[in-house]
Structure 1
Amino acid sequence: MSNKQSRVPFGAALLGILTLLLLFETGAFAQTQVKDPLKLCKDVPAYQELKTQRLEAAQKAQADGKPVTFNEAGTKQKFERYDTAYCGQDGYPHLITSGQLDRAGDFLIPSVLFLWIAGALGWAGRLYLAESKGPEDEIIIDLPKAIKCLLLGLIWPVQAIPELISGKIRVPEDRVTISPR
């Protein structure tokens, strides 16, 4: 396969991603399209009622001597954070996934962190298999080599981009095994 052919899917994928980003609806527009738009939790009566019920129940359980892991300061701090979240009419906070940067801590940061960790583990496995001397290394893990591969896997985007651009990341078709069906 030539280098030019291997760049076509990458270019098409990049064009598709850019198109999706440009056509993506913002959260402000999405809020106008729903029947009951979300409001700040501190402005939703159902949330205030839930908050009061939970605090009173925990305080009552603690006063009755029941074994509870109740930290009043921590619980109040949790509800202060929820006060800035968006709630529906049910009083429960909803996750905003529209790409609003002021809500990045709710969804964007955890999802990017998940993808980075998953990529690091995959890249570490790929490095380990590339450096292995055969099935023996796959059955009995060579711990120093595995730790080295895991640490190198943490910077996988830096290693993946040049390989993706050069086409080295793709394996020739004759090296891909086909499982029996």
Structure 2
Amino acid sequence: MLPDAVTVLLGKLDAPARLAAHLRAVHDVAWQLADWMELRYPAVTFDRALVLFGAATHDIGKVIHRDELSKPGSHHESAGYELLLAQGFDERAARFARTHACWTESDIVLDDLIVSLADKIWKGKRVPDLEQLLVERLVTADCQQAWEIFLVLDDELDRIAADADQRLAFQANYGTST
């Protein structure tokens, strides 16, 4: 289930069902990644609640740029950030709408990388550069070698990606109009 504040926001914005389904799928994957991180790397610090909120709202700008529900585009990123700020959410929560597709920026933190990764792996897409950035952050916070961290991350992402077809089918059951 999406966080209550997000469910209320989606209703208030009359969000298309497909967007809600997508946000739920990415949120569910972010939940799995957060569980894995906490279990495998308990010394690594990240804000679980913020990551889950970010995963649940990262594409919220698509309520404004609805054509981006079915076509490529990036207008929804800054629009989502501004929308969340206008709805009273603070910058820390709103930033994921803007950062989920640009993980190479200098101000990106581990929380952003987790949301970005969830937004890719939910559909089984592997992005080596993004995964390498996450490995580098985990190496910094843990005593393992990069190759050791990569191996366990690779296994976890393969496990999550194995259910991508089910998540894609779930999302496809919903239309792009309200």
With the shorter chain as reference, the TM-score category is under 0.3
Q: Which has the larger radius of gyration?
A: 1
TM-score (ref. length: structure 1): 0.22
Query: TM-score under structure 2 normalisation?
Result: 0.23
